[in-house]
Amino acid sequence: MSLRPYQQDAHDAAVDWIGKSLQPCCIEGATGCGKSHIIAAIANTVHQRSGGKHILVLQPRRELVIQNRQKYLVTGNPASVYSASAGSKCLKHPVVFGTPVSVGNSIDKFGDRFCLVVIDECHGLTPTIISVVDQMRARNPKLRVIGLTATPYRTKSGYIYQCGVDGAPVSPEETDNPYFARLVYSIEARTLIAQGFLVPLFVIGLIGAIAVIVLVAVLVG
């Protein structure tokens, strides 16, 4: 699997962080940046470097479970799915893609084999996800946690990390009890547009939208 330069940079930053810290870190990646590719690369690297230990990837919806697993399969390695909504509860392979509730309801089956939990859409951190991580960490105190999101800011609680990419602490006025210790990498939509990886989004407005609808109606009619 070949990564884009910024995907490789995000992978490297996260892997470097967990290599020296037990505290959770996160990656900010704009919508369309290919977070599933970054997740796949991180899971593959950590599995290889850890001597075969297991990795759990949590995502809130079955669609993301299926999508993220498909991208991981491109690495040439197998992966399991543990999600009732996705139609499978399997722990056969060392990399497992699951949904929080299904994993939480069967947490005793996960044992102490896991060295890393990756949380997709980590801005939506829930008590269930935190409970899963806490119970897995009780079995393996060296468990690492990496989150990925396009929106690292929550309306009610502010930023989800304590320190930004540059290591500067987030102002107490801008965050309330953030879960992640560090934002290790950030790639914004405008940067991806400038690099040619995303196409600019144009808003045509209500009048323009009505005009398009009328034109289509005339042509079809």
The pLDDT tens digits of the residues spanning 98-130 come to 999 999 999 999 989 999 999 999 999 999 999
The pLDDT tens digits of the residues spanning 6-57 come to 999 999 999 999 999 999 999 999 999 999 999 999 999 999 999 989 999 9
The CA angle 165-8-46, to the nearest 5 degrees, is 90
* Phi-psi category of residue 121: left, alpha or beta, with phi > 0 → left and psi -120 to 50 → alpha: left
Terminal Cα-to-Cα distance of the chain (whole angstroms): 48
Beta bridge partners of 116: 55, 144
Confidence of residue 195 (pLDDT cuts 50, 70, 90): confident
The pLDDT tens digits of the residues spanning 159-193 come to 999 999 999 999 999 999 999 999 999 998 888 98
